[in-house]
Amino acid sequence: MGKRALVLFAHGARSASWAAPFERLRDMVAARAPEIDVSLAFLELMSPRLPEQVAALAARGIDDVTVVPVFLGQGGHVLRDLPLLLDELRVAHPGIAVRAVGAVGEDPQVLRAMTDYCLSSLPSPLA
C-alpha cells in the first residue's frame, strides 16, 4: 500500500470563523495519525474544493484517499453531491483509490458525545 490520505470534507461558509472547529478536528486527527496525509476540503464557499484537494494529493504521490463527510445531517450534499464528486475524481485520477464513509453525524459515538453536551448545557444539574 502506498501513501494514504484522509480528507475531511465539510460544507464551507462565508464566515472564516466557521471553519475553526474543522481546522481543530484536522489538527487532532493529524496529531494521532502522523503517517497519514490529513487535510480539509470543502463543497462550496471555501478553498480548497474537493477536486482541487484530491489533485494536490495526487501530485504529492498519494494513491489512497478516504473522504470523511464532516456533516451532521445526511441530506443532498452527502447523498447526491458527494457521490457525483467521487465519480468525477475516479475518472480524473484512475490511479488513486477514492472512497467515502458515512457522515460523522451518523456515528454512534459522535451522537453520544452530542447527547452528553446537550444534557450538560442545562442550567442546573440533573438528578
Q: Quick check: 50 and 83 in contact, CB under 8 A? A: no
Grid coordinates of 93: 485520477
How many whole angstroms separate alpha carbon 114 and alpha carbon 86?
A: 29
Contact flag: residue 36 with a second copy (CB under 8 A):
yes
Largest CA distance in the chain: 57
State which of residues 51, 59, 64, 88 lies at the interface with a second copy (CB under 8 A).
64
By CB under 8 A, name the binding residues for a second copy. 1, 4, 6, 8, 10-11, 13-15, 17-22, 24-25, 28-29, 32-33, 35-36, 38, 64, 66, 68, 70-76, 79, 99, 101, 103-107, 109-119, 121-124, 126-127
